[in-house]
Chains A and B, each alone.
Chain A
Amino acid sequence: MWDLCTNALDTARLRGAAYGDVRVMHLRQRDLTTKNGQVGTLSQSESIGLGIRVLANGAWGFASTDRLTREGVAACAAQAVSIAKASALAKRSEVVLAPEEAYVDSWQSPFRKDPFEIPLETQLALLLAADAEMRRVKGVTLTETDMQFRKIDSWFASTIGSRIHQRKVISGCGIAATSFQGEEIQKRSYPNSFGGQHALQGYELVDSLDLMRNAPIIAEEAAALHSASQCPEKIGTLILGASQLGLQIHESIGHPIELDRVLGQEANFAGTSFLTLDQLNKLNFASSIVNVVADARLDHGQGLGTFAYDDEGVPGQCTDIIKAGKFRGYLSNRETAHLVGLDRSSGTMRTESWNRLPIIRMTNVSLLPGTWDYDDLLADTNDGILMETNRSWSIDDRRYQFQFSTEIGWEIKGGKKVRMLKNPSYSGITTEFWNSCDAICKLGHWTLWGTPNCGKGQPMQTMGTGHGASPARFRNVRIGTAFSNQ
């Protein structure tokens, strides 16, 4: 693979590139699903190819190919340079990259059980058994289970001399029960919606989930939701379960700190950000108990945003985003770092595949644990609503105003869960919401959730991001708006 990389970079230099980086990537994927007791999807795929990004005449060009011959790679590199020169026809300034060292390294994400070595029969048997457990519950009309596994090898090389090989093993698994009764569809998922939990782990992730114990629980909840009370509409106290809080972090903190959005580079598609450059180190983003980091290091956990190097050859790092409530940092790359006074990229350039350009993405953007025991948090709440497991999510294109709904809610009265609520939802303005946070649970309740479906860029790229969170409480939140029609 290194020969292909060298060939591409040499061609780019000869054609006039001042800088180039190249990724050869080999992606393997296995997908298994069941529905109503039968196998749904059963597929395996592999894809290998090369993408090269170059700077020529002060502008960017990128080309990719699956033709991994000497001629194919050379033509691809030449095309990238030609595209860069075309870009220069409509440039306003020269691209300047923050300095970075050259690295020669090899890294593999840790895993105990290679999911591709586990017999398919074993994997399907578990899914079908969990599916059957859910179908035993009266009132359940649709059962679904899934597993996805990926193994990604990437070989990165750049004209500054880096040669980095990384191998990542990613697993995902989840189950869901749906119930249609009367004029209502209710659904419960475990351990999360979006196909469950996803992490930079091997098959041990699946082992840890205990699908068989949880399958009947969510099935019974899906059926019971029909007779639950409607979530009231009010301004009140909200407790979010950890997975829902993970998505809240993703949408209202993770996206607005992407420096490409802040600088207008996503204005036509993903949108911009309320976190304009003048807000850095000034904005009271959240209450003083809120601390958020963007951490790609393995020390933070095995999340979908964990890696040794980003796809620009910059080592994974931990960046303070919110410290004691104050807004402290953005997600940057080598091109944008200097715009916020940094002398180095924060290492967040990521690509979906060999045929996509690396762009600024979330790594693991996590809310650090607080001090509360979960039971104490509930006991301390006299009147509130607990919401768990995302059902819908939406936020405006500058990331101010959001609305989320969850699969299930629980009314809290006098420190106890007193009744199930259906169709829970809440909404708000990002900074007002985070400033209303008055309790965060401790490390023992903290999970590094995986969001596997973050879409960004044109052409669209889907990326996995990590979000560590523990249950937390928010005051004076607008609750129940999604189902009000006033």
Chain B
Amino acid sequence: MKSAPTSKKASALASELLPERELRRIADTVLHLLKSTAAEDTEVHVDEVANALTRFANNAIHQNVAEHGLTVSIRTVVDSRTARATTNRIDEDSLRATIEASLSLAHSQPKVPNLLPMPGKQRYRTVNRFVKQTAALSAEDRARAVRRACDLAVKKGQVAAGIFSNGQSQSALANSRGLFAAYRETHSGFSITMQEGSAASWAKANSADVRTFDPLKLAARVGEKAHLALNAHELAPGHYTVILEPAAVLDLVGFLFYDFAATALADKRSCLNERMGKQLFGQNISITDDVYHPLQQGAPFDGEGLPRQRVVLVDRGIPKNLVYSRAAAKAAHKQPTGHGFALPNEYGEAPMNLVFGGGDSSVDRMVASTERGLLVTRLWYIREVDPYEKVMTGMTRDGLFLVENGRVTGAVRNFRFNQSLIEMLKNVELLGPAIRATGEEAFEMVVPAMKVRDFHFSEVTKF
């Protein structure tokens, strides 16, 4: 086995990422090795992560982990055929073996009709989402913050559970036509559930900059809400006005993202088939995909290295545009939007940085304006029941409250819902400001709290 083309330095063993030039050197090594093969086009992805996560429950840390990994993924094109092979071994012999695997896979298949040549050099907008203070957060830092949150829970006679995570990642993408793109970011998150008897509540924050949230403040707020959630009583299922906090909105509307893929429409599995250009949602609903939004994260290029573009998907309730990979764009005689997945794949593309238009209301004002309704903290286990009407089912969780005559009057047992997202987005009465929301069912997006009429709860559970 030959020596590695780059040295994995001792200083990087715990949590530091390699310098970008090292990723470029790995990519160049692969491209150089491929020159002596039959490959007509070659693309190399080099991805590196260094993540850590502290998990706590029963007011103590019970799991505490760290990982470091680097992968090299190679796509080759031979005679209108393409395939991908991936490894996390970066010695030259392993890279050669991965190249051979990619070529062998490519050779094994029929020709791919309309396979496009790889794109050439591109220009990218700079986005800066690497925060040193996030990268530098240590296991001790996380443990101390968790300890403070748990001590608060003990003091209140409550039980805390959650996570405190931080990490950094970087990606480089190069191809044999001179394209090179690189990106790095940090990420951090704090999630906490406070339990009091059989009641519970929850909150979660997520940011490139760990300084933007205060774990202890979140713990205090959730603790107060958990206390309010005591003595939940049962209501009859039916249609209710709901006030959905941003995390609840996110986890529901997150299921819409793939419907805006041009490939999904071509495959006739999108709820937007035969609905583009029509007044599908209320006029107060506008959605863009915008990786450059200050509350968004992610690379400014797609899986083929094309720059991501800001795309208006829904304008005042009317689906206006889709996102396109290069192949989908060619098939539809459109321009690619920089949303393609790494090839080869059967899904095409998707908007991954959704930003909903917000409003000037707030959760408090929504409550104050409601004669009778339900305040929803969080939704759980959401699944698609009807893909065309976009009926979703799921449960409320960790704090469902009855609102009467403009104020919260008590806690309510959790409901199951069966609700069409299309109908829901027709029935939005008030919107709060759009914020970076984070949940467990969808990836992070920028969404507002919403007050929605006629939300359908079909059954009630036992708590």
| Chain A interfacial positions (CB closer than 8 Å to B) | 33-36, 38-49, 51, 59-67, 69, 71-72, 75-76, 79-80, 82-84, 86-87, 89-93, 119-121, 124, 128, 141-142, 144, 178, 180, 183-185, 263-269, 271, 274, 355-357, 359, 391-398, 400-401, 403, 405, 423, 425, 427, 429, 458-459, 478, 481-485
Give 17 A-B pairs besides A66-B88, A268-B162 with Cβ atoms closer than 8 angstroms. Answer: A36-B267, A45-B87, A79-B13, A87-B61, A90-B56, A93-B60, A178-B269, A264-B195, A265-B58, A268-B57, A268-B202, A394-B382, A396-B414, A398-B462, A401-B460, A403-B418, A459-B53
Q: How many residues of B contact A (CB 8 A)?
A: 99
Please name all residues of chain A whose beta carbon is closer than 8 Å to the beta carbon of B253 when the two chains form the complex.
none
Please name all residues of chain B whose beta carbon is closer than 8 Å to the beta carbon of A484 when the two chains form the complex.
418, 458
Please name all residues of chain B whose beta carbon is closer than 8 Å to the beta carbon of A395 when the two chains form the complex.
381, 395
Please name all residues of chain B whose beta carbon is closer than 8 Å to the beta carbon of A63 when the two chains form the complex.
65-67
The reply to whether A44 and B86 contact each other, CB–CB distance below 8 Å, is yes
Which 9 pairs across A and B sit closest by C-beta, in order of nearness?
A40-B346, A120-B108, A75-B13, A86-B139, A401-B461, A45-B86, A180-B268, A267-B161, A90-B147
Residue of A nearest to B397 (CB): A397
A contacts with B: majority SS? mixed
Residue of B nearest to A46 (CB): B87
Write the nearest CB–CB distance from B112 to chain A, whole angstroms: 7
Write the nearest CB–CB distance from B254 to chain A, whole angstroms: 15
- Most central of B14, B67, B267 by chain A CB within 10 Å: B67
Please list 23 pairs of residues, one from A and one from B, whose beta carbons are closer than 8 Å in the complex, sorted by A's number: A39-B344, A43-B83, A47-B87, A47-B88, A63-B66, A63-B67, A64-B66, A66-B88, A83-B139, A86-B138, A89-B61, A119-B108, A120-B109, A263-B58, A356-B65, A392-B383, A394-B381, A396-B395, A397-B395, A400-B463, A401-B460, A403-B416, A482-B385
Q: Given A38-B112, A46-B89, A63-B66, does the pair A394, B394 have CB atoms closer than 8 Å? A: yes
Binds A, one of B99-107, B170-178, B301-309, B430-438: B99-107
- Most central of A39, A42, A485 by chain B CB within 10 Å: A42
The reply to whether B13 and A72 contact each other, CB–CB distance below 8 Å, is yes
Please name all residues of chain A whose beta carbon is closer than 8 Å to the beta carbon of B388 when the two chains form the complex.
180, 183-185
Q: Given A184-B388, A396-B397, A459-B53, does the pair A62, B64 have CB atoms closer than 8 Å? A: yes
Please name all residues of chain A whose beta carbon is closer than 8 Å to the beta carbon of B67 when the two chains form the complex.
51, 63-65, 355-356, 459
Q: Given A83-B66, A429-B462, A485-B456, does the pair A33, B385 have CB atoms closer than 8 Å? A: no
B54 within 8 A of A: yes
B218 within 8 A of A: no
Write the nearest CB–CB distance from B413 to chain A, whole angstroms: 10
Q: Given A46-B87, A401-B459, does the pair A185, B387 have CB atoms closer than 8 Å? A: yes
Binds A, one of B19-27, B68-76, B401-409: B68-76
B84 within 8 A of A: yes
Q: Given A60-B63, A66-B70, A481-B459, does the pair A89, B383 have CB atoms closer than 8 Å? A: no
